[in-house]
Structure 1
Amino acid sequence: MDSKTKAYKYIHGYQEVEQERLREQASVIERPIYDYIDFSKVEELLEVGSGVGAQTEILLRRWPQLKITGVEYESKQIRKALDNMKALGYGKEKVNFIHQDAKKLSLPKKYDAAFICWVLEHIPEPVKVLKSVKGNLKTGAMISITEVFNATFYTYPLMPEVMDYWKLYNDYQVSIGGDPQVGARLGDLLEEAGYQNIQLRSGGFHLDSRQPEEKQKVFSYWKNLMSSGAPILIEEGIVSAQQVLEMQMAMDRLKSMPESVFYYRFIQATAYA
């Protein structure tokens, strides 16, 4: 398989179960992300990598004045997003999805702000995306980005079944052109793309016996996240079905342990065009 073909693979896949996981993910991790974003003075928002509309739904609920243009590369995701928005009662007057490559946007207007969440990790040469977005923002418009920093994932006790799988999962993402540590690079990427007043913060989870319900919920979510990569990892011969099962069982054990710890950090950036 040549590198060009591999570069367009998506580790999580597009199955219906994955499309629903994206909505679950958005709800589990909503507060750590959105409590630090302010779009209260924004009307026209550009969402890059809008997927199935999982984040779009939260954006519209939190800031009802928004009119969102979602850009998505995969047409299957757009069809699901349209279904989700229709079920929530949102029409084209509130949200519109456009099928385009974010590296070379061609949009009919310039926007008051841009939002990118869990997207750059999947894209080779993310600076091209940031430059393309900047060209479609009004002067002084804000961009808000939330991205992964997967090297920070830690559990106590450490379970080889989990950590060995996690390494293979992340190595595969690198092999298809992604970057599971891209959050750590957001400052430099934004600087290279020409943005101003760049600010970074670290968010995430540090859960132990003091937050038993939230910890169990996050362990379940993380197990589903890792499992979402299983079909393509099995298909590529990188893991076996048995390894996936052992990872899932180990995550269930961690979830049930009162003394277990879950730790993970993501990185958020704000900057201005």
Structure 2
Amino acid sequence: MTQYKYIHGYQEIEQERLRHQARVIEKPIYDYIDFSEQRELLEIGSGVGAQTEILLKKFPHLKITGVEYEAKQIEKAEKNLNLSGYTAPQVRFIQQDARKLVLDRKFDSAFICWVLEHISDPIQVLKSMKPHLLPNAKVVITEVFNATFYTYPSIPAIMDYWRIYNDYQVQIGGDPQVGAKLGDLLEASGYTNISLRSGGFHLDSRHFEDKKTVFNYWKNLMSSGAPMLLEEGLINEAQIHAMQNAMDELTAKEDSIFYYRFIQATATP
């Protein structure tokens, strides 16, 4: 399969970060997701199985088919899920391009999380998925809205790095603001009953421990793009360390503020 650039890369440390990330932000995402009445779920961009594992823990009756483009991610996902006691036929992973799906069954639910931000033509993914869904299937999509990231105090070493990070994602065909466009993307792809909500974090001195956890998670998220940004000559080591040190400074500062919003959409085909 043709290799596409992925800002986070596929190193083992990144694969583990994805699992940690899923746990850190599990509550604000899954508090508003209910697949209790669904049976067969299609997960697009299943990666290392981090979200798959959460879905199965919350909804153990589900059978999940995960579609993933990168073979290394599937290998890691199968290992992770097997270690947690989940095996076929309850869960299976298929290597395919989500823009050209060829599947052997129809599903009564679909789940996409942090995937469309990396794809140059998300409408093609949504259109490709639609024929494989049963009428009235429940579709849930969670995506980034990176323009909402805010810290107090604002530190140039962080915000300059964040700008470079997001500009590069656009350069390689992604969209760091795709969450804000989910309603239009779903409508253009032929979906109905579209509903949008904003979720995320607004953490200040009242949530000091939670704030420390999220600041650390966000530092790791930004750091995950560093190898690609270095390779492209867009940053240097000093800028990486300056960003990381500034994030540590905010983590320790009692009156610092962390703010970020993602967008969550539900729809039917």
Superposition TM-score, scaled by structure 2 size: 0.99
The one of 184, 192, 206 equivalent to 2:180 is 184
Matched, 1:260 2:263: no
How far does residue 261 in structure 1 lie from its aligned partner after superposition?
Answer: 0.1
Structure 2 residue ranges without an equivalent (≥5): none
1:82-231 matched pairs, under 5 angstroms: 82-231=78-227
> In the TM superposition, what is the alpha-carbon distance from 1:135 to its structure 2 partner?
1.1
5+ residue gaps in structure 1? none
Q: Distance in 2 between matches of 1:201 and 1:141?
A: 19
Match of 1:69 in 2: 65
Deviation of 1:140 (Å): 1.1
3-state SS, counterpart of residue 11 of structure 1 = coil
Alpha-carbon distance in structure 1 between the residues aligned to 2:203 and 2:159: 18
Aligned residue pairs: how many?
268
Runs of 4+ in 1 over 3 A off after TM superposition: none
Between the aligned residues of both structures, percent identity stands at: 69
SS in 2 for 1:238: coil
Instruction: Report the AA paired with residue 106 of structure 1.
Output: V
The alpha-carbon deviation at position 16 of structure 1 amounts to: 0.2
**Offset at 1:175?**
0.1
Counterpart position of 1:40 = 36
Q: Take 1:154 and 1:198, find their aligned partners in 2: how far apart are those partners? A: 28
Q: CA deviation at 1:142?
A: 1.2
SS for the counterpart of 1:135 is helix
For 2:90 and 2:106, the matched residues in 1 are separated by 16
Root mean square deviation of aligned Cα: 0.8
Distance 2:87 2:182 in 1: 33
1:192-243 Cα deviation digits (max 9, x unpaired):
0000010000000000000000000000000000000000000100000110
The alignment's TM-score, normalised by the length of structure 1, stands at 0.97
Partners of 1:259 and 1:26 lie apart in 2 by 26
Q: Deviations over 1:132-161 (max 9, x none)?
A: 111110011111000000000000000000
Partner Cα distance (1:18, 1:70) in 2: 19
